[in-house]
Structure 1
Amino acid sequence: MAEEMIRQAEKPAARVRGPSVEKTARTRERIIRAAMDEFLDKGYADATMAGIAARAGLAKGTTYRYFETKEALFAGIVRDIVIDPLAAAHSRPIGPDESVADYCRSTLLPAMRLIEDKGRASIARLVLTEGQVFPYLADVYRKEVYEPFIDHLHQLAKMAAERGELKCMFLVDSPHLLAAPLWMGIVHNGLLKPSQQIDTAALFEAQIGLLFK
């Protein structure tokens, strides 16, 4: 009997297969989407990890395994919903015969057209309305989204200046001018006059026409 028990103990333990990469990615996406809905519905202050888990249809413990805090969840939202689409646009090099204006139209305008539908404008508005009370929100958005985007526009402005493609040289020192229609649309559509939406992409395209030859 003792020998049998020893043989059983010496048998290798059966492997417990963890969740697949695909399932893990799907669960993470569910949590991210649920967190965004919770933040936008209740505000960052009143959003809870329990509420996020309920929206995602998951146990609260599962949510904590993916994101330990609300702060980590917000950072995940910023990276998944805002940064990834912009990174895809930024990664495409400008063509040898392509003007900077045309490059902006082909890489940035598609993201502008979807800024409301994909929730990116709502995330920006959350930062605007709650960033002073929760500085972490503004810090994450500034470092991960705002500063890299302005730097990207700055590089494009310098390239256009070197090529003689600019109507307004002020853009080289203040690339924020090219981003202005984006923020005008975000503020107008969600905070100031949501009943009369303006087309952010159309504003951006018009600004390109005003700034570039």
Structure 2
Amino acid sequence: MNEREPKWTRRKDARPQEIIEAAIDEFVAKGYAHTKLTDVARRAGVVKGTIYRYFETKADLFRAVARHLASENLMAIQNTPGAADVDALTLLPLLLGHVAGKMSDARLPGIVRMVLLEGRMFPDLASVWHDEVIARVAGVLTGAIERGQKAGSIRAGDPALMLFSVMGPMLMGVLFRETFPDSPFAPDLRALGVQHADVLAAGLRV
């Protein structure tokens, strides 16, 4: 094995992630319809044919983007010690603080905006985002709510409906900032996450 081989191996292993990161930037900048794999390849520093080694179509590439974003955002919560056992009152400050931090990065709100704007033209786009992101986040939250209800710490109610009370204000804050970035009412997402967690804890607690 010569000295160059490990570098080549690491580079090859890193290519799918580099392509995904480049795709996120292209989707945010141009939207789904106008993103071309040629431009993704150029941004990633590879030839277009390299993309086809890992992703057969642009739709496959977007699915990989959705999986990456979901995993990246859920990993921090799921890797918290005891996260699988805690209820929503414990999990909410962690989750909302993490979401606020990620939403402060323009790329994630940009992808959300793209899905909202182009989901009707490309139904598969919305389906992928639902299955790979929404459903996974919803599963974590509703599971935490159900555990709290069984333990008697969280009031009775439909966990699936409570989910909208949990995430609604954060999504509204993101959309407001995206639509009215210069408004004096555009919220600080981190501060919103902290305050919303306090409000939810009071509202959910038995």
- TM-based fold match above 0.5: yes
Residue 20 of structure 2 is matched in structure 1 by: 32
Q: RMSD over aligned Cα, in angstroms?
A: 2.6
Q: Name which structure has the greater RCO, CA cutoff 8 Å, separation 6+.
A: 2
- The structure 1 residue matched to 2:66, chosen from 65, 78, 90, is 78
Describe the SS at the equivalent of 2:77. Answer: helix
1:124 is aligned, of 96, 112, 119, to 112
Percent identity over the alignment?
Answer: 28
120-129 or 134-143: bigger deviation: 120-129
Aligned-pair distance for 1:148? 2.0
Correspondent of 1:115 among 94, 103, 106: 103
Equivalent residue in structure 2 for 1:207, among 193, 196, 204: 196
State the TM-score, normalized to the length of structure 2: 0.80
TM-score scaled to structure 1, two decimals? 0.78
The count of residues paired between Structure 1 and Structure 2 equals 194
Change (3 A) 1:201 1:160: farther
* CA apart distance, 1:56: 1.5
Deviates more, 1:114-123 or 1:130-139: 114-123
Match of 1:23 among 11, 14, 18: 11
Structure 1: which 5+ runs fail to align? 1-16
Write out per-residue CA displacement over residues 123-177 of structure 1, whole angstroms, 9 at most, x where no aligned residue: 11111111110111100110111122122211212222233333x6446351221
Return the index of the structure with the highest Cα Rg: 1
Gaps of 5+ in 2: none
Give the partner amino acid of 1:189.
Answer: R
Give 1:28's aligned amino acid: P
Q: Who is 1:54 aligned against?
A: 42
Of 43-52 and 78-87, deviating more is 78-87
Change (3 A) 1:88 1:118: farther
Q: More helix by proportion, 1 or 2?
A: 2
Letter of the 1:145 partner, please give it. Answer: V
2:170 is aligned to 182
CA contact 1:131–1:137 (8 Å) conserved in 2 = yes
2:159 corresponds in structure 1 to 172
Q: What letter is aligned with 1:120?
A: L
Asked whether the equivalents of residues 100 and 189 of structure 2 are also in contact (C-alpha less than 8 Å), the reply is yes
